[in-house]
A and B are shown apart, each in its own frame.
Chain A
């Protein structure tokens, strides 16, 4: 059974750096063509793709956020970490991680973690 779970702070202050961890099971990022993506959703709004990391350590970022995002993986721990710098109240959202086979859709999602940016 494939599962993903996001974890991180529920509240961050403006200008701080957000660090989120996606811990997964049931698949490996050592497996060819396997990837993990991050997607976010502000309250009441649509989904927005943020970043993807591949089994071979290739990384892809949203063009509008690429200067603020870094994604990394620890295959020994089955974890993917997303950092977002210079947080702003408009970054308040639920952040999801999802398994993403290469060339495929976001097929399995975590439950999401809500992050509020406020002083």
Chain B
């Protein structure tokens, strides 16, 4: 099973700032099988990025994904108030696993 480790656990930023979230896999993940989700309190997760760098339908272009092998990154170019949430990485190359989440909070 592939373990995903996200960092940092919490990111304290102000609206308008850039957010960089990291996810490291315990073994190599093919790029097509890596995704990011956003979850707000009391809501189901929402798919943001799939195939490492493709935005899901309706996701604004301030969200971007990159990476390969064992290191992946989600970048939010300029934080909007609605972007403060928990973000999870996920792989489906070797079974299906999630990271433990990164909370992006208002500084």
A30 at the binding interface (Cβ < 8 Å): no
Contact, CB under 8 Å: A46 / B44 = no
Q: How many A-B residue pairs have CB under 8 A?
A: 51
Total interface residues in chain A, CB < 8 Å: 20
Residues of A within 8 A of B33 (CB): 103
Select one of A47, A104, A107 contacting B88, CB under 8 A. Answer: A47
Q: Which of A107, A110, A111 has the most CB of B within 10 A?
A: A107
Residues of B within 8 A of A106 (CB): 35, 37, 45, 47, 90
Name 18 extra pairs, CB < 8 A, besides A46-B98, A96-B44, A103-B33: A37-B96, A46-B99, A46-B100, A47-B37, A47-B45, A47-B98, A49-B97, A62-B95, A96-B45, A103-B32, A103-B92, A105-B35, A105-B50, A106-B35, A107-B50, A107-B56, A109-B47, A110-B44
Chain A interface secondary structure, helix, strand, loop or mixed?
Answer: loop
Residues of A within 8 A of B32 (CB): 103
List 14 A–B pairs whose Cβ atoms lie within 8 Å, in order of A's numbering: A46-B99, A46-B101, A47-B45, A47-B98, A49-B98, A63-B95, A103-B33, A106-B37, A106-B47, A107-B56, A108-B47, A109-B45, A109-B46, A111-B44
